[in-house]
Copies of this chain bind each other. A is one copy, B any other.
Amino acid sequence: MTPNTIRYGFLGLGIMGRAMATNLIRAGFDVTVWNRTAERCAPLVALGARQAATPAEVAARCDITFAILADPAAARETCFGAEGVLAGIGGNRGYIDMSTVDDQTARDISEAIAARGGRFLEAPVSGTKKPAEDGTLVILAGGDRSLFDDAGPALDKLGKKRMHLGDVGQGARMKLVVNMIMGSMLTAFSEGLSLGMKGNLDGAQILEVLEAGAMACPMFKGKGPMLLAGDYSTSFPLKHMQKDLRLAIALSEELGQTLHTAAATNEIFKRALIAGHGEADIAAVHSIIR
């Protein structure tokens, strides 16, 4: 495949998708877009994109089609629905689903695409709106290696890092591992802040000491002031974190791994969920601990 002649498709122009497709167009790639609500295509067409009427049309016309949909249901509909990707894919053309979905959805789509003679890659991302706009996402891919390579020039415009992690399902698994560590780190952080402040240490000074040491990280820097202020405005909903902890523990049962810290963390997040903080940011776990 010669990179500069590749025709790209892009399905799903929500907050993430619009920013990502824009980056591809601005980088000079040939991009055909589709969105369930067609008017969302206009700004991208204004930037030079082509527009298609259905996912099937995109998948038939383009060498490599990206998608980033809201949830597993949308990802399934876009693939399996009437006029879906399956109806257009084939001839070794590629489909890269960047939605965050469960293992089973990823595998079902993967098998169907392969059965039609297409290639498939799951590629969930780490990062939200800002990194999507800046092209600094981290792309966690699993599936067809040749497709990962062929799509490289485009993926490198979408993210600052892209990793091929193995078979379909390994991308989702990596997200789970990373989120599980995040959950435990956050409760540890909250416990430390709370203990220190009850011991008459100044919260801002605790953050300052952490920032100067071996545990300095963007999360403590970002969430720290939120915890101190009791500001739990949502960027990662607490209920999703609790779900990921639950799934990580379920995975550990299957793989034979004890998770004492994560299991204790999960109970704390459950308590926060029961207390009604499910839609708030994960920072709201602090309201249960402090």
Contacts and interface: CB of A to CB of B under 8 A. Distances in A.
Interface string A25-61: 0000000000000000000000000000000000000
A263 B189 CA distance: 14
Interface residues of A, number: 72
Given A174-B205, A201-B173, A273-B256, A264 B266 contact: no
Contacts of A23: none
A201 B189 contact: no
A120 to B, nearest CB: 19
A121 interface: no
Given A261-B264, A264-B261, A256 B201 contact: no
Interface in A184-236: 184-185, 187-189, 191-196, 198-202, 205-206, 208-210, 212-219, 222
A73 interface: no
Copies of this chain in its oligomeric complex:
4
A51 to B, nearest CB: 34
A108 to B, nearest CB: 20
Contacts of A165: 201-202, 205
Interface in A261-278: 261-268, 270-271, 273-274
Contact of A214 (B199, B215, B222, B265): B222
A84 to B, nearest CB: 30
A107 interface: no
A6 interface: no
A210 B178 contact: yes
Given A259-B191, A260-B260, A181 B210 contact: yes
A92 interface: no
A148 B183 CA distance: 38
Nearest to A182: B215
Interface stretch (A75-83, A111-119, A245-253): A245-253
Contacts of A267: 258-260, 263
Nearest to A167: B200
A240 interface: no
A214 B213 contact: no
Given A163-B209, A177-B192, A213-B178, A198 B138 contact: no
A129 interface: no
